[in-house]
Amino acid sequence: MTFDRRQFMARTAMAAAAAAATKMARGDVSLDVLDSDELTWDKAPCRFCGTGCHVMVGTRHGRVEAIRGDLKADVNKGLLCAKGYHVGGILYGPDRLKTPMLRRNGHLEPVTWDEAMDVIADRIEGDQAGFAIYGSGQWTIPEGYACQKFIKGGLSNNNIDPNARLCMASAVTGFLATYGVDEPAGCYDDLDVCDVLITWGNNPAEMHPVLFSRVMDRRSRGEKVELFDLGTRRTRTTDFADHYLNFTPQTDLAIANCIARELIARNAWDKDFVGRHCAFRKDTEKPSLFGEASSFKEYATSLDPYTFEYVEEISGVPAEQLRLLADRFCDPSKKITSLWCMGVNQHTRGTAMNTLIHGLHLLSGHFGTPGDSPTSLTGQPSACGTAREVGTLAHALPGGRIVKKEAHRAHCEDFWNLPRGRINPKPGTHTIAMWDNFCTPTDEGGSVSTVWVQVTNPGQTLPNLEKLFRGKAGLEDKFLIVSDCYPTATTEMADLVLPSAMWVEKNGIFGNSERRTQQWFRQVLPPGDARDDTWQVIAAARRLYDRGHEGMRDKDGDFIFTIRDQQGQEVPAWEWAHYYDTNVDRYLFEEYRPFARMKHKDLAPYDVYVASRGLRWPVVQQDDGSWRETRFRFSGFDDPYVADGEDIDFYHSKTGDGKAQIWFRPYVPPPESPDTDYPFWLCTGRVLEHWHSGTMTGRIPQLQESMPTAYVELHAADAGSLGVKSGDRVTVSTRRGELTLPAWVDGRGQPPRGSIFVPFFDERLLVNALTLDAHDPISKQPDYKKCAANVRRA
Amino acid sequence: MTRLQSIALTAAAALVAGATLLAAGTSDRPAAPTPPPADSPTRMLTTPAAQGEPLIRRLPVLADQEQVCLASLKARAERRAYDGAPPVIPHDVESFTHTKSCLDCHGAGFKMGAQVARAMPHPYLAACEQCHVTAEAPLAFAARAAGPSLPSSTFEGRFRTGPSTRAWAEAPPTMPHGTLMRTNCLACHGRLGWAGLQTSHPERANCIQCHVSQSGQPEGLSTRGDAIGGPAQNSRNLYR
């Protein structure tokens, strides 16, 4: 880094003093002409969603002062969204956490990092099996990798799971069940050429705005793009739709089956494609990831009940609209791209619904050429890169490996130079189990005694908060460690709070929704004593090593996080003063790269990413030494792992014959539906202005003032019968809790009669005290999108 | 005099037709004048933009012109987090049924009485609310939010956009800002543009024929990685 730390500190102090005078949206602004120092620009991926836009960050005197869309980035081509343009503001909340704090006599009191590391080491030595890490799809790849190695290679208990479990788990199981390997075949380039876009329970106009406008802006260039929006409420995406199919929650399963049935009934399914590249699959009695083999005949028979009439009856979607959607799938000349995200994933039948969408594209042959693609969107910036590829899940190991397989454990032990048997074959606790267990008294079987949370806010985002988070209160032997940047609903309950560096205050690598790995450098310093999450893990590991902990030694007795500089000299990276003596991210990434080869998710060397705006794996070295990314996976014309002459090869097929699986999955009613006591459907979600729990965006005045409070969207007729108008306070209750908040009638989103919607960004109005912890049996992902609720005037 | 005023004056100086600017280093350059006191409204007009930079003297401009320009730049800055950030929407939008409604007024620009809806400075993009959020919550109940909001970021945006320069008295002034998302110059500088920033010759359509970007700042900014160069490449174009 070139800037002077003292200068930086002075600047920070000055800024703090001037805070009151520099409110951005209104009031005085500072138009700086006296100081002619130019901004220094460097690249970074945006900190927010899974789109993975690249921003240019303008810094001066150690502060971020401007942001631009990166014109050189394929993802966003110079454009951002409201959150992205204001991402620089996330660093400068006046209440940034700046010093470690330990709870003593009920109060958080400052402690040194040295003391904090002793506390962590004491907890681990006290109960190693009960120590867990709860991480994030917002972890950088090196952060997740370090935690993964720490838990699975060091503590041997596999108790690590990310918030991506709440977000992407069903997408992962959908990919695995269909293709035998995770992550999309297509990429964002499909959006530039598709004729038909289908959004399945998805509102990209607000949640992935840059991708959505990438498609919609094609219309202004005279291109025709037909949008089918399938949803349970009207959204901003619906505003752009040619056809809006409003369905009763959970009946998306039936709709997909209805379209598949029609493809067969019209004899319009792609027999050649299916014959060569697909096999059929069905559930066993107990749902499982791979089920059992089926046949076309059995598949067709199973679909038989899903007639237009039946599906119209249960879904509420007119047969005419279903027929129209079927028409498109039956037309091989149309290029169809499907997009989905939380509506399909946060679903107690999420795995099933994911496989059904893949199945429709396979059955109809709308697969494998540009524009014909089932594209699952991720919610978080590195849910793919970190949670899925590094495998920071309770059952997984890096590079698509799983702890249950002896060979996979052996690979990892070899890569990490660990003795045989170091990695535990028993999966750890997945998210819901981890928190349930943590909130259960030890003498009642609650064996998770310590959770270390990084880069996420479970105190706001777990479902059924009373049970899964607040249950910790009063359990004296349970201990919560939280690494974060701001005070949150989670730090409120924490016993040890560790201040973290964020975004461009540290080096980082993300992996976005389209398999793109993206690198950035630290550009400003974190405030106070805030430090990188990766450093925190390495320092804790080192403290254990120094105390003689065997797990922190490899089979030669060396520290498992031995970091070397580019000359091969060991760097004491566990000492903060030396952490940036070398690029630890680069070192860890190079250590991690070989893991990715087994599933053909090849990564380029770190330095290649430095010189690019991200590359989509597999990134394979060419004869001339250059590195080539892959846009269309499994497609012979682009994927280097498909043999010459083949058009499609699912080379990780579960059946070992290069075939993908088309599943039959029945419609199953949801675990909770409206009834007399709770007559409304409750759906939760995000809004454009805020990122997840609002910890960052809630501190950006432009975004906060535009969307200052959570609300409940009501249909006008329901509002009328309740005697409620916009702005009136209403109480929403479920079997798990209740919440009083303002009503919004005919607001931004318009739920149909009998449905309500509440966003989850507002930490003062925690809707997750009301949501359900019922989850998908395969992915273990809970359903935030539907449960039964009551509404009354407050 | 505030820094805000300074830039306004500087910009005004650059924009006012006929303002005389003398290039640095010429033999007929007058001796540097004594700097006026710090609170003088003409301070910036006679002070080099920065120490060590070539001296470009600017003559005082009319006081009312300064005030008009100042007010415009201030109003413009108040709607943004930094120069280049998308401005917030200073009016309610929830009563409009579709983002296409934005175009009704902001497509070509629109004026009714004192109310001006400026044209978009960038090419047509369909999802206006992707980037532009309302300055105030659309919700009637916003004031009744439950408890205090989170404390606001102390982010300080960079607003330096000038000054522009001229090679000689009659030369066209350089553009004191970049052109990313600002390709329709008349949005700000046309008849419905900002007071004090309007061009004297809106009939001339091709602005960048005469007005060049001063800073030489490429819009596709480079990074440390770009400087290194490297073997990375995107895959060849393989569309059918």
Identify the CATH number of the domain in which residue A130 sits. Answer: 3.40.50.740
- Helices marked H in A180-251 — which ranges? 204-207, 209-220, 236-239
On the CB side of B198, CA atoms within 13 Å amount to 14
B95 touching A, CB under 8 A?
no
Name the band, by pLDDT with cuts 50, 70 and 90, for residue A3.
Answer: very low
Q: What is the chain A residue with the closest CA to B152?
A: A699
The pLDDT, as a whole number, for residue A590 is: 98
Whether the predicted pLDDT of B214 surpasses 80: no
**A59 CA to centre of own chain:** 28
Query: Testing the interface with B: which of A2, A3, A11, A29 to mutate, by most B Cβ within 10 A?
Result: A29
Whether the predicted pLDDT of B160 surpasses 90: no
Q: Which residues 6+ apart lie within 8 Å of A368 measured at CB? A: A185, A632, A634, A635, A647, A648
Name the band, by pLDDT with cuts 50, 70 and 90, for residue A50.
Answer: very high
The pLDDT, as a whole number, for residue A509 is: 98
Do A153 and A181 belong together in one domain?
A: no
Name the band, by pLDDT with cuts 50, 70 and 90, for residue B215.
Answer: low
B151 touching A, CB under 8 A?
yes
B114 domain-assigned: yes
Name the band, by pLDDT with cuts 50, 70 and 90, for residue A63.
Answer: very high
B57 domain-assigned: no
Whether the predicted pLDDT of A657 surpasses 50: yes
Is the pLDDT higher at B179 or at A62? A62
State the DSSP string of B212-238.
-BSS---SS---HHHHH--SEEPPPP-
A642 domain-assigned: no
Widest CA span in chain A: 78
For residue range A546-573, list pLDDT tens digits in order: 999 999 999 999 999 999 999 999 999 9
A692 domain-assigned: yes
A293 domain-assigned: no
Q: What is the mean pLDDT of chain A?
A: 94
Whether the predicted pLDDT of B1 surpasses 80: no
Cα torsion angle, B148, B153, B156, B161, sign: negative
Do A343 and A400 belong together in one domain?
A: no
Residues A42/A81, Cβ–Cβ less than 8 Å: no
Whether the predicted pLDDT of B60 surpasses 70: no
CATH number where A759 lies: 2.40.40.20
Q: A564, A595, A626 — which closes off a domain?
A: A595
Given an 8 Å threshold on Cβ–Cβ distance, is B78 in contact with A27? yes
Do A591 and A555 belong together in one domain?
A: yes
B137 domain-assigned: yes
Amino acid identity of residue B44, one-letter, is M
Percent of chain A with pLDDT over 70: 95
Average pLDDT, stretch A324-343?
A: 98
For residue range A235-277, list pLDDT tens digits in order: 999 999 999 999 999 999 999 999 999 999 999 999 999 999 9
Name the band, by pLDDT with cuts 50, 70 and 90, for residue B72.
Answer: confident
Given an 8 Å threshold on Cβ–Cβ distance, is B222 in contact with A41? yes
The pLDDT, as a whole number, for residue B163 is: 67
Q: What is the chain B residue with the closest CA to A766?
A: B146
Q: CA A379, CA A207: separation in Å to the nearest integer?
A: 8
The single residue of A43, A83, A472, A601 carrying the catalytic annotation is A83
The pLDDT, as a whole number, for residue A642 is: 95
Distance, in angstroms, between A761 CA and closest chain B CA?
A: 12
Q: What is the chain A residue with the closest CA to B145?
A: A709
Residues A11/A92, Cβ–Cβ less than 8 Å: no
Distance, in angstroms, between B113 CA and closest chain A CA?
A: 24
ipTM, 2 dp = 0.85
Do A405 and A365 belong together in one domain?
A: no
Do A477 and A563 belong together in one domain?
A: yes
Do A174 and A231 belong together in one domain?
A: yes
Q: Domain limits at B125?
A: 86-141
Do A61 and A23 belong together in one domain?
A: yes
Do A261 and A347 belong together in one domain?
A: yes
Annotated catalytic residue A405: no
B159 domain-assigned: no
CATH number where A15 lies: 3.30.200.210
Do A106 and A242 belong together in one domain?
A: no
For residue range A22-44, list pLDDT tens digits in order: 333 223 334 444 345 678 899 99
A674 domain-assigned: no
Annotated catalytic residue A168: yes
Amino acid identity of residue A145, one-letter, is Y
B36 domain-assigned: no
Q: What is the chain A residue with the closest CA to B81?
A: A24
Q: What is the chain B residue with the closest CA to A30?
A: B4
Distance, in angstroms, between A134 CA and closest chain B CA?
A: 25
Size of interface A-B (CB pairs under 8 A): 315
Given an 8 Å threshold on Cβ–Cβ distance, is A94 in contact with B142? no
Number of structural domains (chain B) is 1
Number of structural domains (chain A) is 4
A244 domain-assigned: yes
Do A320 and A194 belong together in one domain?
A: yes
Q: Could you tell me where the beta strands, DSSP code E, fall in chain B?
A: 21-22, 57-58, 110-112, 115-117, 232-233
Backbone angles phi, psi at A620, to 5 degrees: -115, 135
B119 domain-assigned: yes
If contacts are CB pairs under 8 Å, which of residues 28-47 in chain B contact chain A? 44
Annotated catalytic residue A83: yes
B204 touching A, CB under 8 A?
no
For residue range A715-729, list pLDDT tens digits in order: 999 999 999 999 899
A139 domain-assigned: yes
Is the pLDDT higher at B216 or at A162? A162
Given an 8 Å threshold on Cβ–Cβ distance, is A36 in contact with B81? no
Do A452 and A520 belong together in one domain?
A: yes
Do A81 and A105 belong together in one domain?
A: no
Widest CA span in chain B: 69
B237 touching A, CB under 8 A?
no
Distance, in angstroms, between A213 CA and closest chain B CA?
A: 6
Given an 8 Å threshold on Cβ–Cβ distance, is A630 in contact with B235? yes
* Tokens read off for B60: 């005082």
Q: A578, A595, A612 — which closes off a domain?
A: A595
Whether the predicted pLDDT of B46 surpasses 70: no
Q: Domain limits at A76?
A: 5-92
A644 domain-assigned: no
Per residue, the 3-state secondary structure of A47-95, as one string, reads CCCCCCCEEEEEEECCEEEEEEECCCCCCCCCCCCHHHHCHHHHHHCCC
Distance, in angstroms, between A83 CA and closest chain B CA?
A: 8
Given an 8 Å threshold on Cβ–Cβ distance, is B154 in contact with A93? yes
Whether the predicted pLDDT of B33 surpasses 70: no
A782 domain-assigned: no
Name the band, by pLDDT with cuts 50, 70 and 90, for residue B161.
Answer: low
Q: Which of B133, B162, B234 sits opposite A33 (nearest CB)?
A: B162
Given an 8 Å threshold on Cβ–Cβ distance, is B153 in contact with A701? yes
